[in-house]
C-alpha cells in the first residue's frame, strides 16, 4: 500500500471523526426536538404539574431555574470579575498568584456532585438556609466562579497594551485606566463568558438537587425551595412517569441552552466585526 | 483632595508617581479589594475541602478505613460501606468512555486543525462547543430513551450498564478533549509542518510523524482532563448505569459508580451511611485535585523542555 493510499484512508477516517461529532449533536437536538415539540403549549409553560403522573405544565420549574441562575449570576459576577482584574492587571507573578490559579483550576474541575454535597453540608445545614433558592444560587456561584474568572482574565489580557499606555500617558491612575479603558473594551468577551456560565448553571442538576430541593413549588422569596427544570426532567425520566412531559422539559432546556450559546456566539462575531 | 499633589510612592505599576494622598489610598484600597476577591477562589476550594472532610472523615471510625477503602460490598441495609465495587464501576465506565471518546475527539481535533476547509470548520467547531453546553441530564435522558434500547438489543439485558454509560460519557468528553487537543496542535510552530511537507511527506505522514508527537503532552493533558470529566460526571451516569453496586460482570450488566451511588443514596441516607457518602465525595475531590496537579506538572515539564 503506497503512501498515497495510506494518506487517503487516514484522511477519510479523520473526516469521519469530524462528521460523527456533528451528527451526534444533530441526533441529540433533533430527537429531543421531534419528540418534544408536540408538548410545547402555553399551558405547558405556564401551569403547574398536578396529580400522580405530573400532568399539566412545568411553570414553577421554569421560574425556579431562572430565579436560581439569576441570583447565582448576581453573586458570582462582581467577585469573579474583580478577581480576574487582580490577576490580569495587579498581580505580580509569584507564589500567591500560582496558588490562586491552582485553586481556580481545581474549583473548575471539582465534580458537580461534590459541589452539591458541599452545598448541602454548608449552605443548607451549617448556615441554616435550608433547601432554598439562595442555597442553590450560592452553591452554583462556586461552580460559575472559575468559568467567569477565566473568561474575564483572557478578555482583559486581550486588550492591547498601547491603549493602557495612552491612558497612563494622560495621567490616569491605575483604577481609572482599568475601569474606564480596559474593562469597557473587554466587555463583549466578559459578557460571552458570563452567558456561557449561565448556560452551565441552567443545565446543572447535581448541585441544585441537594441545595434547592425537589419539591415542586413556585419560589417567591430567596428562602423558598423549588425544583429546577433539570431536576424535574431527572425525576420524570427516572420514575418513568409522564415521558411526554419529560420530552417537553428536555426540549425547553435545550432551547434555553442553545439560546445562551447562540447569543454568546453572536456577541463574539459582532465584536470581531466592530474591531475590523 | 485638600493636599494637592502630595507625593506618595505609587502602589501600582501605572508609573504614576505623583498623586494626591486621597488617590493613593483609593488605589491601594481598591487593589486590596481585588486581591480579596481573588483569594476568595482559594478560600472556596478550602471551604469545600474542609466541609466535606468535616462531614466525611468519621468513616475512619465507623466502617473503619480498611472496611471503607478495602470493602468489597456496598449495602446500606447490611451497613456495609466498602467502596471497591464503586471504584471498579467508575474505572469501567471511564475506560469505556476513553476508548470510545478519545480517538473520536482527537480525530475531530486533527480534522479541525489540519484538514477542514474554513467552511467545514465553521460547522464542526460550533458543534463541538455546543456539545459541551448540552446539560448532563439531557445526555442521560437521550441515553435512556435512545442508546439503552439498542444496547439491550445487543447484550440481551435491560440495557442499563457499563456499555450505555460509556457511550454517553464518550460523547460528553469529546468537547473537552477535542478543544484542548486543537489548542495543542495550534501551538505547534507552522515551520515544522512546512518542513515536513517540503520533504515530500503526505498530510497523514505529517500528522502522525510530526504533529502528533510535537503536541503529545498537550494531547495527554487533554485526555487526562477528559478522564476527570468522565470520573466526575453524575446525572448522565445515574440515568443509564442501572445503579447496582457490584463488580463488573459484562458490558450489559448494571453497575454503580462513586458519583451515581451518592445521588441514589443521598435521598434516604442517615448516620454512618451519610458519613460514607461524604467519604465518597472526599475521594472524588482528591481525584480531581490530583488530576489538575498532574496536568500542571506535565505542562511545566513541557515549558521547561521547550
Mean pLDDT confidence for B34-57? 88
Three-state SS string over B196-232 comes to HHHCCCCHHHHHHHHHHHHCHHHHHHHHHHHHHHHHH
Residue B83 CB partners (closer than 8 Å, separation 6+): B68, B69, B71, B74, B258, B279, B280, B283
Q: What is the ipTM of this complex?
A: 0.89
- Quick one: how far is CA B61 from the chain centroid? 31
pLDDT digits (tens, 9 = 90+) for B207-224: 989 999 999 999 999 999
Pair (B125, B223) in one structural domain:
yes
- Quick one: how far is CA B37 from the chain centroid? 25
Pair (B53, B37) in one structural domain:
yes
Domain containing residue B41: 1-60
| Higher-confidence position of B306 and B176 | B176
Q: What is the pLDDT of residue A222?
A: 85
Q: What is the pLDDT of residue B158?
A: 84
Helices then strands (H, E): number in chain B?
14, 2
Please identify among residues 198-237 of chain A the ones whose CB lies closer than 8 Å to any CB of chain B. 199-200, 202-206, 209-210, 230, 233-234, 237
| Higher-confidence position of B84 and B1 | B84
Pair (B189, B275) in one structural domain:
yes
Which one, of B233, B264, B54, B36, lies nearest residue A118 by Cα?
A: B54
Asked if A111 reaches chain B (Cβ–Cβ under 8 Å), the answer is yes
- From chain B, the residues in CB contact with A7 under 8 A are 202-205
The structural domain count of chain B equals 2
Last residue of a domain, one of B45, B60, B75: B60
Pair (B88, B236) in one structural domain:
yes
Asked if A131 reaches chain B (Cβ–Cβ under 8 Å), the answer is no
Residue A64 CB partners (closer than 8 Å, separation 6+): A133, A212, A217, A218, A219, A226, A227, A228, A229
Task: Provide the percentage of residues in chain A whose pLDDT is more than 90.
Answer: 38
Has residue B5 got a pLDDT over 60?
no
C-beta atoms of A100 and B126 within 8 A:
no
Q: What is the pLDDT of residue A272?
A: 76
C-beta atoms of B38 and A86 within 8 A:
yes
| Higher-confidence position of A182 and B305 | A182
Has residue B196 got a pLDDT over 60?
yes
Measured at the CA of A89, the angle between CA A86 and CA A90, to 5 degrees, comes to 60
Q: What is the pLDDT of residue A92?
A: 81
Task: Compute how many other C-beta atoms are within 10 angstroms of the C-beta atom of residue B194.
Answer: 11
Q: What is the pLDDT of residue A269?
A: 83
Q: What is the pLDDT of residue B66?
A: 82
Rounded distance between C-alpha atoms, residue A72 and residue B247, angstroms: 39
Which one, of A8, A257, A118, A168, lies nearest residue B266 by Cα?
A: A118
Q: What is the pLDDT of residue A117?
A: 92
Residue A247 falls in which region: left (phi positive, over 0), alpha (psi -120 to 50) or beta: alpha
Rounded distance between C-alpha atoms, residue A86 and residue B205, angstroms: 45
- From chain B, the residues in CB contact with A99 under 8 A are 42
Rounded distance between C-alpha atoms, residue B302 and residue A7, angstroms: 30
Pair (B89, B216) in one structural domain:
yes
Q: What is the pLDDT of residue A275?
A: 63
Last residue of a domain, one of B31, B60, B89: B60
Pair (B25, B90) in one structural domain:
no
Question: Do A212 and A226 touch, CB atoms closer than 8 A?
Answer: yes
Pair (B123, B50) in one structural domain:
no
Question: Do B185 and B220 touch, CB atoms closer than 8 A?
Answer: no
- Give the pLDDT band (50/70/90) at residue A1: low
Pair (B152, B263) in one structural domain:
yes
Mean pLDDT confidence for B110-138? 91
Rounded distance between C-alpha atoms, residue B95 and residue B98, angstroms: 5
For the entire predicted model, the pTM comes to 0.88
pLDDT digits (tens, 9 = 90+) for A215-249: 887 888 888 888 888 998 998 888 887 888 889 89
- Give the pLDDT band (50/70/90) at residue B139: very high
Q: From the CA of B162, how many Å to the nearest CA of chain A?
A: 18
Mean pLDDT confidence for A62-68? 91
- Give the pLDDT band (50/70/90) at residue A168: confident
Pair (B36, B74) in one structural domain:
no
Pair (B38, B100) in one structural domain:
no
Q: What is the pLDDT of residue B11?
A: 37
Mean pLDDT confidence for B60-73? 82
- CB-nearest to A109 from B108, B111, B228 is B228
C-beta atoms of A82 and B141 within 8 A:
no
Place of cell 460571552: A192
Has residue A108 got a pLDDT over 60?
yes
Q: Among the listed ranges A39-43, A49-53, A139-143, A258-262, which one has the minimum average pLDDT value?
A: A49-53
Pair (B51, B115) in one structural domain:
no
Pair (B246, B127) in one structural domain:
yes
Q: What is the CATH number of the domain that holds B100?
A: 1.10.3720.10
- Give the pLDDT band (50/70/90) at residue A14: very high
Task: Provide the percentage of residues in chain B whose pLDDT is more than 70.
Answer: 93
- CB-nearest to A233 from B51, B137, B266 is B137
Average confidence score pLDDT of chain A? 88
Rounded distance between C-alpha atoms, residue A149 and residue A78, angstroms: 10
Last residue of a domain, one of B35, B60, B85: B60
Q: Please report the number of interchain residue pairs, chain A to chain B, with beta-carbon separation below 8 angstroms.
A: 275
Amino acid at each position: 500500500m503506497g503512501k498515497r493510499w495510506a494518506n487517503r484512508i487516514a484522511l477519510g477516517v479523520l473526516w469521519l471523526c469530524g462528521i460523527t461529532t456533528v451528527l451526534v449533536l444533530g441526533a441529540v437536538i433533533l430527537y429531543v426536538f421531534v419528540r418534544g415539540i408536540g408538548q410545547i403549549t402555553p399551558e405547558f409553560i405556564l401551569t403547574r404539574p398536578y396529580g400522580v403522573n405530573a400532568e399539566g405544565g412545568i411553570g414553577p420549574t421554569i421560574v425556579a431555574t431562572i430565579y436560581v441562575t439569576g441570583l447565582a449570576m448576581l453573586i458570582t459576577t462582581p467577585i469573579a470579575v474583580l478577581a480576574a482584574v487582580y490577576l490580569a492587571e495587579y498581580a505580580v507573578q509569584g507564589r500567591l498568584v500560582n496558588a490562586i490559579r491552582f485553586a481556580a483550576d481545581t474549583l473548575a474541575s471539582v465534580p458537580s456532585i461534590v459541589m452539591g454535597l458541599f452545598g448541602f453540608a454548608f449552605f443548607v445545614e451549617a448556615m441554616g438556609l435550608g433547601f432554598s433558592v439562595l442555597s442553590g444560587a450560592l452553591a452554583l456561584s462556586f461552580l460559575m466562579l472559575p468559568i467567569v474568572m477565566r473568561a474575564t482574565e483572557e478578555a482583559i489580557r486581550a486588550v492591547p497594551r498601547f491603549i493602557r499606555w495612552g491612558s497612563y500617558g494622560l495621567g490616569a491612575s491605575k483604577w481609572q485606566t482599568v475601569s474606564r479603558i480596559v474593562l469597557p473594551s473587554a466587555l463583549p468577551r466578559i459578557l460571552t463568558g458570563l452567558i456561557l456560565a449561565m448556560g452551565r448553571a441552567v443545565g446543572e442538576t447535581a448541585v441544585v438537587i441537594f441545595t434547592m430541593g425537589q419539591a415542586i413549588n413556585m419560589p417567591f422569596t430567596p428562602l423558598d425551595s423549588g425544583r429546577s427544570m433539570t431536576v424535574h426532567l431527572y425525576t420524570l425520566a427516572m420514575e418513568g412517569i409522564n415521558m411526554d412531559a419529560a420530552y417537553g422539559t428536555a426540549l425547553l432546556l435545550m432551547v434555553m441552552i442553545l439560546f445562551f450559546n447562540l447569543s454568546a456566539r453572536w456577541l463574539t462575531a459582532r465584536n470581531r466585526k466592530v474591531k475590523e | 483632595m485638600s493636599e494637592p499633589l502630595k507625593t506618595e510612592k505609587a502602589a501600582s505599576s501605572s508609573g504614576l508617581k505623583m498623586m494626591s494622598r486621597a488617590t493613593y489610598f483609593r488605589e491601594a484600597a481598591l487593589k486590596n479589594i481585588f486581591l480579596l476577591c481573588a483569594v476568595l477562589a482559594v478560600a472556596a476550594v478550602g471551604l469545600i475541602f474542609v466541609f466535606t472532610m468535616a462531614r466525611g472523615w468519621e468513616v475512619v471510625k465507623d466502617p473503619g478505613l480498611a472496611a471503607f477503602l478495602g470493602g468489597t460490598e456496598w449495602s446500606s441495609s447490611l451497613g456495609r460501606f466498602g467502596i471497591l465495587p464503586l471504584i471498579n464501576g467508575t474505572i469501567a465506565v471511564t475506560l469505556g468512555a476513553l476508548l470510545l471518546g478519545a480517538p473520536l475527539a482527537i480525530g475531530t481535533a486533527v480534522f479541525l486543525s489540519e484538514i477542514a476547509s474554513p467552511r467545514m470548520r465553521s460547522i464542526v467547531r460550533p458543534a463541538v462547543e455546543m456539545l459541551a453546553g448540552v446539560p448532563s441530564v439531557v445526555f442521560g435522558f437521550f441515553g435512556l430513551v435512545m442508546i439503552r434500547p439498542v444496547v439491550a438489543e445487543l447484550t440481551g439485558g435491560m440495557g442499563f450498564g457499563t456499555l450505555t454509560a460509556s457511550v454517553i460519557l464518550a460523547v460528553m468528553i469529546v468537547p473537552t478533549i477535542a478543544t484542548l487537543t486543537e489548542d495543542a496542535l495550534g501551538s505547534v510552530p507552522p515551520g515544522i509542518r512546512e518542513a515536513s511537507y517540503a520533504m515530500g511527506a503526505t498530510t497523514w505522514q505529517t500528522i502522525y510523524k510530526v504533529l502528533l508527537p510535537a503536541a503529545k503532552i498537550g494531547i495527554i493533558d487533554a485526555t487526562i482532563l477528559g478522564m476527570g470529566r468522565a470520573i466526575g460526571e453524575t446525572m448522565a451516569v445515574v440515568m443509564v448505569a442501572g445503579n447496582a453496586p457490584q463488580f463488573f460482570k459484562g458490558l450489559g450488566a448494571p453497575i454503580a459508580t462513586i458519583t451515581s451511588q451518592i445521588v441514589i443514596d443521598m435521598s434516604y441516607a442517615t448516620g454512618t451511611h451519610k458519613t460514607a457518602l461524604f467519604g465518597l465525595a472526599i475521594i472524588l475531590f482528591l481525584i480531581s485535585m490530583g488530576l489538575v496537579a498532574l496536568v500542571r506538572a506535565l505542562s511545566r515539564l513541557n515549558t521547561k523542555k521547550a
